């Protein structure tokens, strides 16, 4: 074990609040509608260390695993973890909509495994997990035992810097438990950091070189396993005895009460101050409005009382001024592809949003300068410049991927079916399953890949852009003269942009 700290949890508190059927004002002030999962926890995880975390069910162990992996954020305190981390937990929901093969592909992609290595890696993972016959089965149809085996196999081949095993051993057969022990030993040999969240004390005693006992969301005791284990085992014995008594609920009452007594109230005081400032601001606005109205009424009363006639000033207008009428739109159903970044969408003469290159827009009409587009079920406009017009009724060249794949970015061409399967899916699904580098509204980049995914106004994925290869050869082969080439591929389209050396594949 080295002296390098990979993970720090410093005075971390995490609570969840029940705000159902509660007004926003009550949410700001109500401190009682919260349940504290962990309270003022400090944990350090070193490189090359196996940290065992144990405690009774509901003590907050799994929440600590989620905090370490940054699946959830603390309510107060600090979490520092900049290392690649894998959370192997049945409390961390993986999607069950896709096959096991597809799920593994998604995870490999998020860990920057070269796409050319996918077939070998997937085969190795399934073999080690003893799930070769389940490759096409939906993930949610696996048993808890099979999921545990898969998680362990993934960590064996991915070897992330930090691995968190959340109560897996109870679901394993004796033979696979030996495999599990082997994986932990391997990770230690490679100087990784392992967190064992376990009820099974024997495994912690064998593999952990440091141990933390969590009780009612708090660190009860930390130290070497030989120091903590006897104290915890004595506690377990007393706890089990208390269950057989009438006053069992009073056992460990002081720690139960301390769990909900959040030590760091500064966060709540900040919320209270914020709500007070909001209230003060509203009161000030009301007082100011009342004062203005009363002043105007007083002035009108004085004018009437003094019989002062008010004659409005007549504004002289230039009769020669020419009012330019808006040019009417010709109805037309088509699509346009945005060709440059930051193109504004206009509604009632004001820009409402700017969209990046590669965005597909639905056209409902046009005039000499603008396209009328459908955006959020409203008619808006965009300038015709920097737009590529796509006519669904036009007869574009038709080709298939076999003819074009040599001129496409290999990471896309080799796994086009995988990427294309996400067309039409929601932004939320993409973020959850593909772990992109960015989370922009209209365009996101996949991790360590030159592949961008594009979304429409309904937050559905409509296109995929990626680099073009051998552009001159492509032009020569298909006798392309223009700077852009629109081609139909099955029920979809592709645009080859020779200025940007980029492909855009999309469905309308």
Q: What is the pLDDT of residues 349-369, one digit of tens each?
A: 899 899 999 998 888 888 989
What SS3 string covers 307-370? Answer: CCCCCCCCCCCCCCCCCCCCCCCEEEEEEEEECCCCEEEEECCEEEEEECCCCEEEEEEECCCE
The pLDDT assigned to 263 comes to 47
Q: Which of 244-248, 302-306, 319-323, 414-418 has the highest mean pLDDT?
A: 414-418
Q: Which residue has the higher pLDDT, 291 or 470?
A: 470
Burial of 59 (0-12, 13-18, 19+ CB in 10 A): buried
What would the pLDDT profile of 277-290 be if each residue is shown by its tens digit? Answer: 444 555 566 667 77
pLDDT of residue 281: 56
What pLDDT shows up at residue 435?
73
Residue with tokens 């509203």: 282
pLDDT-derived band of residue 224, with 50, 70 and 90 as boundaries?
very high
Q: In terms of C-beta density within 10 A (0-12 exposed, 13-18 middle, 19 or more buried), how is residue 89 classed? A: buried
Inter-CA distances, 171 with 167, 168, 198, 204, Å: 8, 6, 12, 16
Residues 76 and 47: beta-carbon distance below 8 Å: no
Question: What number does CATH give the domain 5-94+149-260?
Answer: 3.40.50.300
Q: How confident is the model at residue 32 (pLDDT cuts 50, 70, 90)?
A: low
Pair of tokens at residue 240: 């089990």
Query: Of 72-76, 99-103, 324-328, which gets the smallest average pLDDT?
Result: 324-328
User: Which range, of 26-35, 105-114, 395-404, averages the lowest pLDDT?
Assistant: 26-35
Contact yes or no for 463/428 (Cβ under 8 A): no
| Dihedral of the alpha carbons of 104, 109, 115, 117, in degrees to the nearest 10 | -50
Nearest 5°: phi and psi at 335?
-135, 155
DSSP string for residues in 121-143: HHHHHHHHTT-GGGTTSBGGGS-
Per the listing, tokens 């999962």 go with: 37
Average pLDDT, the chain: 83
Quote the pLDDT of residue 106: 84
- d(CA 365, CA 149) in angstroms, rounded, equals 56
Structure tokens at 385: 């410049």
Tokens (6 digits) for 142: 């696996």
Contact 38, 63 (CB under 8 A): yes
Radius of gyration of the chain from its Cα atoms, rounded to whole angstroms: 31
Distances (CA, A) of 238 to 98, 140, 227: 46, 39, 18
Specify the pLDDT at position 311.
47
Measure the CA–CA gap between 453 and 423, rounded to whole angstroms.
9
Do residues 380 and 346 make contact, with C-beta atoms less than 8 angstroms apart? yes
Measured between alpha carbons, how far is residue 257 from residues 35, 92, 101, 270 in Å? 12, 28, 47, 23
CA end-to-end span of the chain: 55
The bridge status of strand 452-455 relative to strand 461-467 is antiparallel
Alpha-helical runs (H) found in 54-173: 61-68, 100-110, 118-128, 144-158
**Superfamily the domain 330-390 falls into:** SH3 Domains (2.30.30.40)
Q: What is the pLDDT of residue 324?
A: 44
Domain map of the chain by residue range?
A: 5-94+149-260, 330-390, 397-506
User: What are 116-170's pLDDT values in tens digits?
Assistant: 888 899 999 999 999 999 988 888 889 999 999 999 999 999 999 999 999 999 9
Three-state SS for 164?
A: strand
Same CATH fold assignment for domains 5-94+149-260 and 330-390:
no
For 323-358, b/e burial (b = at least 16 CB within 10 A) is: eeeeeebeeeebbbbbbeeebebbeeeeeeeebbbb
- Helical segments of 416-487, H only: 416-420, 427-434, 471-478
């Amino acid at each position: 074990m080295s002296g390098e700290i990979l993970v720090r949890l410093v005075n971390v508190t995490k609570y969840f609040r029940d705000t159902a059927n509660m007004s926003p004002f009550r949410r700001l002030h109500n401190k009682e509608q919260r349940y504290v999962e962990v309270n003022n926890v400090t944990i350090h995880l070193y490189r090359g260390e196996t940290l065992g975390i144990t405690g009774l069910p509901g003590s907050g162990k799994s929440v600590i695993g989620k905090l370490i992996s940054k699946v959830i954020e603390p309510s107060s305190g600090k979490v520092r973890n900049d290392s690649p981390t894998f959370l192997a937990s049945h409390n961390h929901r993986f999607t069950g909509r896709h096959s096991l093969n597809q799920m593994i592909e998604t995870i490999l992609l998020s860990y920057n495994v070269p796409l050319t290595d996918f077939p070998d890696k997937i085969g190795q993972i399934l073999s080690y997990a003893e799930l070769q016959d389940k490759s096409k089965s939906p993930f949610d149809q696996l048993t808890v035992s099979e999921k545990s085996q898969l998680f362990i196999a993934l960590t064996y081949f991915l070897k992330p810097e930090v691995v968190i095993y959340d109560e897996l051993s109870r679901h394993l057969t004796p033979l696979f438990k030996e495999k599990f022990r082997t994986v932990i030993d391997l990770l230690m040999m490679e100087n990784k950091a392992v967190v064992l969240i376990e009820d099974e004390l024997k495994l912690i005693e064998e593999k952990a070189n440091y141990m933390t006992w969590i009780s009612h969301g708090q660190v009860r005791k930390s130290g070497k396993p030989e120091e903590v284990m006897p104290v915890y085992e004595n506690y377990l014995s007393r706890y089990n005895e208390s269950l057989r008594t009438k006053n069992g609920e009073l056992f460990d009452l002081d720690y139960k009460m301390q769990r909900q007594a959040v030590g760091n109230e500064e966060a709540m005081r900040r919320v209270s101050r914020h709500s007070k400032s909001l209230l003060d601001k509203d009161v000030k606005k009301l007082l100011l409005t009342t004062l203005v109205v009363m002043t105007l009424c007083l002035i009108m009363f004085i004018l009437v009382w003094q019989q002062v006639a008010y004659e409005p000033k007549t504004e002289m207008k230039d009769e020669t001024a020419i009012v330019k009428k808006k040019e009417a739109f010709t109805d037309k159903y088509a699509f346009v592809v945005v060709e440059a970044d930051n193109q504004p969408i206009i509604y009632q003469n004001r820009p409402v949003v700017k969209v990046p290159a590669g965005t597909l827009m639905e056209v409902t009409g046009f005039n000499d300068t603008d396209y009328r587009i459908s955006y959020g079920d409203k008619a808006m406009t965009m300038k015709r410049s920097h737009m590529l017009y796509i006519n669904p009724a036009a007869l574009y060249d038709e080709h298939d991927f076999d003819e074009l794949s040599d001129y496409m970015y290999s990471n896309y061409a080799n796994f086009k079916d995988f990427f294309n399967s996400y067309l039409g899916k929601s932004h939320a699904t993409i973020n959850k399953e593909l772990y992109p580098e960015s989370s922009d509204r209209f365009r996101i980049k996949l991790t360590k890949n030159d592949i961008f995914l594009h979304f429409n106004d309904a937050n559905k994925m409509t296109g995929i852009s990626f680099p073009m290869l051998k552009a001159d050869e492509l032009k020569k082969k298909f006798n392309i003269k223009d700077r852009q080439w629109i081609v139909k591929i099955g029920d979809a389209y592709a645009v080859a942009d020779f200025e940007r050396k980029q492909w855009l594949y999309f469905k309308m």
